[in-house]
């Protein structure tokens, strides 16, 4: 099982907020032994990023944000500016396979916790640094959060309400997608480095930057620009390369209509009793994109009187992709989400019963029980993990 894939791999997690913890949560879900090192008294910043909070029987109050990205770890509190506590941490690192950190460039070097120093202590160590701008370059010294990189990396340059529409302007996504994607890229990099170490016997320094990830995740939008030389504009809920591929209002709600080829469009036209697919300006995907301003009001008029359930059934019968726009309450009530066991309940020693989301890398019903996020750990010198 994948849940045992990293059994025996020891990870020292010096990261906080989201990108680093998302990576180390993935590693924990895959079976690694993850030691989360937190600041005394306060711990990871996200423990207080609320409301909402969960309050435990012993008075611990933890933000839901922290619970989202720290399951399966042990916690220890430590101030590595103190010599004795730093020495304890070095003993853990000497035996570790992976270290993950997201401090500003140069911070850990002042305490002898940089890669160059630790590689002498443990040549097999895979040392992952996650920073805003990377380990080198004119901006390497600057801090930054996800929101900054959604803007700087280009995502908000074409995400938002289209010009001429009410509220036009840039918009961020509803979750920290650059952080999450950075955590996923970082996970892949660590796994690749573990495979490579099995061949070479040596670790390495992995340098993952949020700005790099933000640029990379532009995907087809970046390719569109590099091919055409034209900056993509804000097009709201439409698609830059497909039409119709957007949200439409029906009589009792909204649907996402996602037509991926001309055959599907012809089937859709038959369904709504139109001959648009026979008209040259709408016959091909490229033509529909060019003439979307003319096509969109026709689509809106055809779909506005239809009920979502009735229209959805007809689209399904014709092999046309569509979807609802769900609240999270509806998401967790959806029969497919329930079948896939995406919602899991775990027992926390202080916070009681917690509902968490299953890691989609692990097939439903085939993995070990989910371990809860940790309470803020004991002081390091209490020897939670003896050397």
pLDDT in tens, 112-155: 999 999 999 999 999 999 999 999 999 999 999 999 999 999 99
Where is 127: in which H helix or E strand? strand 126-131
* Closest by Cα among 153, 157, 161 to 217: 153
pLDDT at 370 (0 to 100): 78
> DSSP readout, 105-116?
TTTGGGGT-SHH
Q: What proportion of the chain, given as a percentage, has pLDDT over 70? A: 98
- pLDDT for 122: 98
Nearest to 245, CA basis, from 268, 225, 224: 268
Per-residue pLDDT in tens (0 to 9) along the chain, 387 residues: 888 999 999 999 999 999 999 999 999 999 999 999 999 999 999 999 999 999 988 778 999 999 999 999 999 999 999 999 999 999 999 999 999 999 999 999 999 999 999 999 999 999 999 999 999 999 999 999 999 999 999 999 999 988 888 888 999 999 999 999 999 999 999 999 999 999 999 999 999 999 999 999 999 999 999 999 999 999 889 999 999 999 999 999 999 999 999 999 999 999 999 999 999 999 999 999 999 999 999 999 999 999 999 999 999 999 999 999 999 999 999 999 999 999 999 999 899 999 999 999 998 886 677 789 999 989 887 654 544
What pLDDT shows up at residue 386?
Answer: 46
> What is the predicted pLDDT for the residue at 24?
98
pLDDT single digits (tens) 280-294:
999 999 999 999 999
What is the pLDDT at residue 365?
A: 80
Give the 3-state DSSP-derived string for 315-364, with helices as H, strands as E and coil as C. HHHCCCEEEECCCHHHHHHCHHHHHCCCEEEEEECCCEEEEEECCCCCCC
CA distance 221 to 241: 9
Catalytic-role residue among 29, 179, 207, 212? 179
Q: What is the pTM of this model?
A: 0.94
Q: Are 320 and 268 in contact (CB under 8 A)?
A: yes
pLDDT of residue 249: 97
Phi-psi sector, 283: left (phi>0), alpha (psi -120 to 50), beta? alpha
Q: Please, where in the chain does CATH 3.40.50.10540 lie?
A: 2-217+340-357
Active site residue 262: no
Tokens of 68: 């989202």
What confidence score (pLDDT) does residue 68 get? Answer: 97
- CATH 3.30.1540.10 region(s) of the chain? 245-326
Please name which of 262, 255, 314, 260 lies closest in space to residue 283, comparing C-alpha atoms.
262
Task: Answer whether 380's CB lies under 8 Å from 85's CB.
Answer: yes
Class of domain 245-326: alpha beta
The predicted structure's pLDDT at residue 339: 96
| CB-CB contact of 96 with 82 (8 Å) | no
Distance CA 132, CA 121 (A): 27
Cβ(371)–Cβ(28) under 8 Å?
Answer: yes
CATH number of 2-217+340-357: 3.40.50.10540
* Contact residues for 42 (Cβ-Cβ < 8 A; gap 6+): 48
């Amino acid at each position: 099982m994948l849940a045992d894939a990293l059994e025996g791999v020891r990870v020292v997690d010096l990261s906080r907020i989201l990108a680093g913890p998302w990576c180390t949560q993935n590693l924990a879900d895959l079976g690694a032994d993850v030691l989360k090192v937190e600041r005394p008294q306060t711990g990871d910043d996200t423990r207080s990023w609320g409301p909402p909070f969960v309050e435990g029987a012993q008075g611990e109050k933890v933000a839901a944000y922290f619970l989202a990205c720290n399951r399966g770890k042990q916690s220890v509190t430590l101030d590595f500016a103190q010599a004795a506590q730093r020495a304890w941490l070095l003993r853990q690192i000497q035996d570790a396979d992976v270290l993950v950190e997201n401090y500003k460039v140069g911070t850990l070097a002042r305490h002898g916790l940089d890669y160059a120093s630790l590689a002498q202590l443990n040549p097999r160590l895979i040392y992952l640094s996650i920073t805003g701008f990377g380990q080198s370059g004119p901006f390497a010294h600057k801090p930054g959060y996800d929101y900054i990189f959604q803007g700087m990396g280009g995502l908000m340059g074409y995400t938002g309400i289209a010009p001429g529409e009410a509220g036009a302007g840039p918009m961020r996504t509803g979750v920290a997608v650059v952080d999450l994607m950075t955590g996923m890229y970082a996970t892949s990099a660590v796994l690749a480095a573990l495979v490579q170490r099995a061949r070479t016997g040596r670790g390495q320094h992995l340098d993952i930057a949020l700005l790099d990830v933000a640029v990379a995740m532009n995907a087809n939008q970046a390719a569109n620009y590099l091919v055409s030389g034209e900056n993509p504009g804000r097009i709201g809920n439409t698609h830059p390369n497909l039409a119709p591929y957007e949200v439409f209002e029906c009589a009792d709600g909204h649907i996402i209509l996602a037509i991926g080829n001309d055959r599907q469009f012809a089937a859709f036209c038959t369904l709504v009793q139109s001959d648009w697919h026979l008209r040259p300006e709408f016959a091909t995907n490229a033509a529909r994109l060019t003439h979307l301003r003319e096509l969109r009001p026709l689509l809106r008029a055809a779909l506005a009187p239809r009920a979502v359930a009735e229209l959805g059934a007809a689209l399904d019968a014709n092999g046309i992709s569509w979807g609802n726009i769900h609240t999270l309450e509806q998401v967790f009530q959806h029969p497919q989400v329930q079948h896939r066991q995406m919602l899991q309940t775990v027992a926390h020693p202080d916070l009681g019963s917690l509902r968490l989301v299953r890691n989609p890398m692990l097939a439903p019903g085939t993995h070990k029980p989910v371990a809860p996020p940790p309470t803020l750990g004991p002081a390091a010198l209490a020897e939670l993990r003896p050397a």
